[in-house]
Structure 1
C-alpha cells in the first residue's frame, strides 16, 4: 500500500529523503530517454479540483503530466471499468509535477486525482476512440507479460498459504506465532503489489493503514491485525478481521492468476515498487507497529527486479546501456540492504540510524531513477 500520511521520522531526515526521492525518482519521460515523446496531457491538481486538459484522446500511449498546486499530497490514477488501474502515480507533494505513461485502447476511463490520497477521489470522464497498434503486439513485449504472469502465479500460491497460516495463528490466539508469520505473509503481497493494486477495490481493505480510510470506512486488513498484535499484545476481537483478510486475499489470488499486465503496466509497476520505498516506507510509516519494514523493502526490490527481468530481452535490444545500468544499481541496492539481514530475517526499522536509512534511500532512489526510464524505452518500440 502506498503512503497516505506524513512520515514519522525527524524533520531533517524527512526533508533529505523527500528531496532525494522527488528529485531523482520521478523517472524519465520518453524525451529523457532519447525516444519519441508521447502526447502530453496536462493535469492540474488541487485540493478540490482535477482539471485534465483533454477529455477525449485517440487510442495509443499518452503521457499525463500532473502538477499538484494544492496543500495536500495527492495521487493520480487512470481507471478502467470496475476501477481497474491502467496507470497510477502517487505521492505527488504540493508544488511537484510527476509524469505517467499509459497505454489506452478505445474505451471509457476515469482520470482521477486523490487529494490526501484517500477516498474515491475527484474524477473526470475520459473517452478514448480509434485504433492503434498495441505495445503487446510486439512479440518480445508480449512474452514479457507471459513470463511475469508465471512469476505472479508462483507468488500468489505462497501468499495464500502463508496468509492462511497467519490467520490460523491469529484465530487460535497464538500472539507470538502470528507475529512471526506476519512479515512472511506480507513478503508475498509486497512482491506482487503492482498486480494487486490494479484491483483498486481490494488493495485498500487488505493493505490500508489506520487513517487511510474514507469517512465511515472500517480499518481492516493486515495492518489492523498488526496493531492488535504489537500494540495490544492480543488477538482478542480480531477473528472477524482475520476471516475477512483471508477472503480478500483469496480474491486477489483468483484475479491475479487471470491477469496479465501490459508492457507499460509492468514498467510502471517496477518503478512504483521502488518509489514506495524511497518516498515512504523508508520512514517506517508502513509497518509502524511491528517495525518489520525491511521485509517489505526486500520484497519490493525483488518484485521490481522480476518485472524488469521480464522486460529484459526487449531492453537488451532497445537500450543495452540502460540494462547495464539497471544491473549495477539493482546490485548496489541489494548490497546496501543485505547489511541488515539477520538470522531471523531483517533488522527492525526502529533499530536503524538515520545515516543507515539515508544510505538505503540513496541506493533505492538511484535505482528508481534508472527503472523510471524503462517505460519510455518500452513506449518507443
Structure 2
C-alpha cells in the first residue's frame, strides 16, 4: 500500500520551461486559462490537447475509486513540471502554472503507483512568458520538484519489481532476464537517495564482491542476476580472481522465493520512505545543494562503477544502468540550470558547457544501442570504453563546478 503523500495533499512545482504561478483554490483560478481533467481508474481525460502560453489552470476531478495524481511532464516524458497528488475519489484539485511554449505530456496515476494511465501529448503555443519569483522561491520549488521525481520513479519501481520477482520466483527466466535491466533503470535514476539510507542500498543493489568484503548477506538485484545468468565454468567473480563457481550453487525454488520476497520488501520500504515527512525534511535540509550534488553523484556512479563493467557482472547490462544514471543526473541538473544561467555570463557559459557535455555523452552512448535497449557490455572494445570515459570526464569537469555556482 502506498504511504501518505506530502502534508496538504498538493504539490505545485516548476522546471526550466515552466514557472510556478501558484497552487490555488478553484475560485482563485478564475482568471487562468482553465482546463478540466477527469482522472478515473483507467483513463486521464483532459479537455484540450493544447493551450496558449501564460497562466494555465488544470481543474482535476477524480471520478475513480482510487486516490489519484495528475502530472504535467516535459517533452522527454521523464521530468515532472507540475503535479497534484492525493486526489481522493470524488474530490477535486487545481494545478496552476505559467506555461512557456513547448511540448508536454499529461498523465494520471490512479492508486499513486505504476507508470500511470492516459498519457497524452499537450502543446503550448504563443510567446515566451517573463520569469517571476525570487531566488529563494525557485530553490524551494526545485527541491519540491526533485521530491516529486524521486517519488514517481519509486512508484514505477514497485510494480516493476513485483513483475520481475514474480517471473524469477516462478522460474520464468526468459521473462525475468528481459525485465532485469529495465526494472533497474527506475532505481538507478535516483540511486543517491537509497544510498543515504544505511543498509537499504546494500540490501537492494550490492555486488557480490562488496557484500563478501563487508561480511553481509548477499541479497537484491545482483543476487537474482547471478541465478538468471548462470556463470560459465571458466568465469570469474567481480574481483577478477575468484572462480565464479567456487562455493556457488544455483538457488532452489524456495531460495528464489525468499530472494524475491526480500527484494520486494526492500523496495516497499524505499517507497514508504520517499513518501514520508522524513524524506521531505531531509531534502529540505540539503536544499538546492542536495540536488546539484545528486547530479554530480550520479555521474560519479557511471565513472566509478558502470564504465568498468563490474556493476552487472553476470548479465552484461551495464549500459542500461549507465543510461539511467545519466538520465537521473541530467534531470537533477535541469532543476538548477535556470539558477546557474541567472547568475552572470560565467554562469551562462557553465550551463552551456554542461549542456554540451550531456548531449555529447548521450550521443556516444546511443551508438551502442540495439533495438530499444543496448548491446551487452562485453561487446564493447577497450577503445569504446576509453571513448566513453573521455566523454564522462569532459562532462564531469564543468559539472563539478555546479554546486558552488548555484550557492554563490
Q: TM-score range by the shorter chain?
A: 0.5 to 0.7
- Could you tell me how far apart the structure 2 residues matched to 1:216 and 1:286 are? 19
Q: Does 1:142 align with 2:145?
A: no
Structure-2 residue corresponding to 1:32 = none
1:183 equivalenced with 2:184 (yes/no): no
- Alignment counterpart, residue 315 of structure 2, candidates 290, 296, 319: 290
Q: CA deviation at 1:264?
A: 1.4
**Residues 231, 314 of structure 2: 8 Å contact kept:** no
Cα displacement (A) at 1:333: 0.5
1:309-366 Cα shifts (integer Å, max 9, x gaps)? 1112211212111111111111000001011111141011001111111111111111
Deviations 1:28-77 (A, max 9, x none): xxxxxxxxxxxxxxxxxxxxxxxxxxxxxxxxxxxxxxxxxxxxxxxxxx
Q: Is the 8 A contact 1:281 1:293 kept in 2?
A: yes
Show the counterpart of 2:53: none
2:262 to 244, 261, 275: 244
Bigger relative contact order, structure 1 or 2, given CA contacts below 8 A and separation 6+?
Answer: 1
C-alpha separation in 2, matches of 1:361 and 1:335: 13
Q: 1:332 aligned to 2:357?
A: no
- Written as runs of structure 1 = structure 2, the 5 A alignment for 1:145-294 is 145-213=143-211, 216-231=215-230, 236=252, 237-258=255-276, 259-260=279-280, 261=283, 262-294=287-319
* CA radius of gyration, larger in: 2
CA gap 1:353/1:159 in 2 versus in 1, 3 angstroms = same
Q: Give the conservation status (yes or no) of the 8 Å contact 1:230–1:290.
A: yes
Q: CA deviation at 1:153?
A: 2.0
**Could you say what secondary structure the match of 1:238 adopts?**
helix
Instruction: Within 5 Å, give how 1:303-318 maps onto structure 2.
Output: 303-318=328-343
Query: CA RMSD, aligned part only?
Result: 1.8
- Partner SS state of residue 252, structure 1: helix
CA contact (8 A) 2:168 2:256 kept: yes
Number of aligned residues: 245
Superposed CA deviations along residues 102-151 of structure 1, whole A, max 9, x for unmatched, are xxxxxxxxxxxxxxxxxxxxxxxxxxxxxxxxxx9922111111111221
* 1:191–1:153 distance in 2 versus 1, CA, 3 Å: same
State the TM-score, normalized to the length of structure 2: 0.58
**Aligned CA distance change for structure 1 residues 378 and 350 (closer, same or farther; 3 Å):** same
Return the offset for 1:201. 2.2
Any stretches of 5+ residues in structure 2 without a counterpart?
1-133, 233-249
Moved more, 286-295 or 305-314: 305-314
Measure the CA separation in 1 of the matches of 2:300 and 2:394.
11
Query: What is the deviation of 1:269?
Result: 1.3
Question: Unaligned stretches of 5+ in structure 1?
Answer: 1-135
Tell me the alpha carbon deviations over residues 150-192 of structure 1, each in whole angstroms, 9 at most, x when there is no partner.
2112211111111111011011111111111111110000001
Contact 1:267 1:307 in 2 (8 A): yes
What CA distance in whole angstroms lies between the structure 2 residues aligned with 1:227 and 1:167?
Answer: 14
The answer to whether the 8 Å contact 1:194/1:270 transfers is no
SS, match of residue 331 in structure 1: helix
